[in-house]
Amino acid sequence: MASPWEEVRRESLEIPTVGYHRPGSPLPWLLLAVSITLTITVLVVGRNRLMEEKERTWTSLKANDDLNQKLKAMQKEIEKTQEQCTAGEAVEGDANKKILELEMQNRRLQDELAKAKKK
């Protein structure tokens, strides 16, 4: 049998399982607070960057649409100018034919005039 002092000593060395509260370290709570703070910071910064990127994308798309509209307008102007050039070339061709006809008529008339003067 054990002496009463040994029993008291054994009981004092054993950690009771119920009703005992061991004072905890504040380190886990501090780490939890730091982790939550960092997570919130990363989420806020990421959200801000996402919003900025969306705004830049929207601005780029708007500028692209504007340039496409200007390009289409310029293409229409080029087509109209080409049609006018084609019409002008046709008129020029007709005018050249008319000039040639008039020059030939003028030569015939000059030849007839020269023959009439000789007689």
Q: Which tens digit of pLDDT belongs to each residue from 3-60?
A: 666 766 666 555 555 555 566 788 988 999 999 999 999 999 999 999 999 999 999 9
Domain assignment present for 3: no
Domain assignment present for 88: yes
| Helix and strand numbers, DSSP H then E, in the chain | 2, 0
For residues 63-90, give the mean pLDDT.
90
Domain assignment present for 106: yes
Domain assignment present for 19: no
Instruction: State if pTM tops 0.95.
Output: no
Domains: count for the chain:
1
Supply angle C-alpha 105, 110, 111, rounded to 5. 95
Domain assignment present for 64: yes
Domain assignment present for 58: yes
User: What is the spatial distance between Cα 92 and Cα 100, in angstroms, rounded to a whole number?
Assistant: 12
User: What is the spatial distance between Cα 47 and Cα 36, in angstroms, rounded to a whole number?
Assistant: 16
**pLDDT band at 70, cuts 50/70/90?**
very high
Name the residue range of residue 62's domain.
27-118
Domain assignment present for 83: yes
Q: What pLDDT sits at residue 14?
A: 59
User: What is the spatial distance between Cα 1 and Cα 11, in angstroms, rounded to a whole number?
Assistant: 16
User: What is the spatial distance between Cα 81 and Cα 75, in angstroms, rounded to a whole number?
Assistant: 10
Domain assignment present for 13: no
